[in-house]
Amino acid sequence: MPVHSAPIRSEPGGPARPIADLSYNELNQIDLLLTLQQPIPGAPDALFFVAAHQITELWFKVILHELDGARRAMDADALPEARRRLARVARGEEVLVCHLRAVGTITPGDFALLRAQLGTSSAYESAQFREIEFVSGRKDARFLEGPRVTGAERARLAARLSEPSLADAFEALLDRRGRPDLARVLAGDADPELGALIEALIEHDEGFARWRHGHALMTERIIGYRAGTGGTGGVDYLRSTVGERFFPQLWAARSAVYDS
């Protein structure tokens, strides 16, 4: 059966129909999508706030899909495909950084009205955010023990914790290529294909670091130095994560170029 004719369900519980028979609305399940932003009484910015976070989670899903594809490509020594996937990750991270500027239009006064209705909910609880960290190479098992982590989220995080990360895949790739001198690779003196992959990994690392920094600034602009929702550390916590990197050895190798 051709891919474009594969049957899918245009709505939950509905009959499976060929993709070619679906309208734009059905294919993208727009009617269902537009029901997922529930109003919050007394909070005029609720639609904006909820939709903005849902959009972020959708981009997290796309980024995870591409990171998984990049890891598989690296395992198969398909470095051009890995770079293509990582380029898409980097473009998604650019969108997320721009998206933060939109979220930053919420004023402190408007957020105060909204915050009173949020209870203990916090973006700190985003399981997909932790999945991106885990699959990239920054793994911390403590997040599995959070009191608000659901069973399904814990299962996903546990799987990510146990499987090889992107950093692991890169180390295995280096083994297969005879452990080249990364300083020489970055200087352009050896293995240009590997050098291009390193730049793609760095771009992902930089893109996520930019998002962390932008998130901290956006939060500071909206709530100042108060604790975050759900009792999280707010800006102080977010600032403490800005310097984190997924591939510290690749950043260190850049310095070594000038010593060789």
- 23 and 87 in a single domain? The answer is no
Domain count, the chain: 2
Given this model, what pLDDT does residue 58 score?
98
Contact call for residues 229 and 118 (beta carbons, < 8 A): yes
Predicted local distance difference test score (pLDDT) of residue 2? 41
For residue 136, being part of any structural domain is answered with yes
pLDDT at residue 146, as a whole number: 86
- Quote the pLDDT of residue 84: 98
Provide the pLDDT for residue 231.
52
Which tokens sit at 4?
Answer: 């474009």
Q: Give percent helix, percent strand, percent coil of the chain, each to the nearest 5.
A: 70, 0, 30
Question: For residues 135 and 68, is the Cβ–Cβ distance under 8 A?
Answer: yes
- Amino acid residing at 117: Q
Residue 40 placed within a domain: no
Q: For residue 41, tell me if it sits in a domain.
A: no
Same domain? For 90 and 119 the reply is: yes
Domain range spanning residue 117?
Answer: 46-259
Among the listed residues 43, 37, 55, the one whose alpha carbon sits nearest the alpha carbon of residue 106: 43
Question: Which pLDDT value is given to residue 123?
Answer: 82
pTM: 0.90
The per-residue pLDDT for 7 is 74
Supply the pLDDT for residue 228. Answer: 57
Strands 16-18 and 7-9, by their bridges, are antiparallel
In a domain, 39, yes or no: no
Same domain flag for 25 and 52: no
Burial grade of 72 (CB within 10 A; 0-12, 13-18, 19 or more) = middle
With a cut of 50, list the residues of the chain below it in pLDDT: 1-4
| Judgement on whether residues 29 and 83 belong to the same structural domain of the protein | no
| pLDDT of amino acid 67 | 98
Residue 49: predicted pLDDT? 92
